[in-house]
Structure 1
């Protein structure tokens, strides 16, 4: 998963947000269909969201966006990961991003 996210490191946050908004299955469903009623607290809600995310064409982009914007604190399912899984990934993701920045020559940071 981290390798897939590494490929998105140079994509501007605004571009990621546009991709997720335009192509995300959960956003499409809630915009054009009957939105599922998710409270985020019930296990069936999380299972439903995880299943929907599994087939989403912007799952990695959604997860990358959430790690950037929400960090380790946001609840719910993003990029097919629940908050516990995302928090565990966040620390790895943060270390990888720092290592990428440190490896860049001065003046080349995104």
Structure 2
């Protein structure tokens, strides 16, 4: 399976760090079951500009107890996810977190 994923990444141009982060996230979810974002309203994790800040805060709070929170955030950073709530952080928070890493 890992060999197949690596080959797919090469064909699709997916960086190995992104593939590794996705595999780690998938492994946690396979053991610990679905994350809150997989069971709830998907729109809650993909807020549009101008969405109610309380709705965004609710999604962030749901992430707090998720067993895959760290792996989710690591994937979002590796994949440079621009949208959505990942690992309990919104886009602006992820950009702020990634900035010192890039320096």
Q: Normalised by the size of structure 1, how large is the TM-score?
A: 0.58
Higher helix share: 2
Distance 1:84 1:46, change over 3 A: same
Q: RMSD of the alignment, in Å?
A: 2.6
Query: How many residues were matched structurally?
Result: 79
Q: Residue in 2 aligned with 1:100?
A: none
Q: Does 1:88 align with 2:99?
A: no
Unaligned runs of 5+ in 2: 1-16
Distance 1:94 1:87, change over 3 A: same
Aligned residue among 45, 54, 60 for 1:50 = 60
Shift of 1:93: 3.0
| 1:25-44 superposed matches below 5 A | 25-27=36-38, 29-30=39-40, 35=41, 37-38=43-44, 40-41=47-48, 42=51, 43-44=53-54
Aligned residue among 13, 20, 25 for 1:12 = 20
Unaligned runs of 5+ in 1: 1-8, 96-110
Greater than 3 Å deviation, 4+ residue runs: 19-23
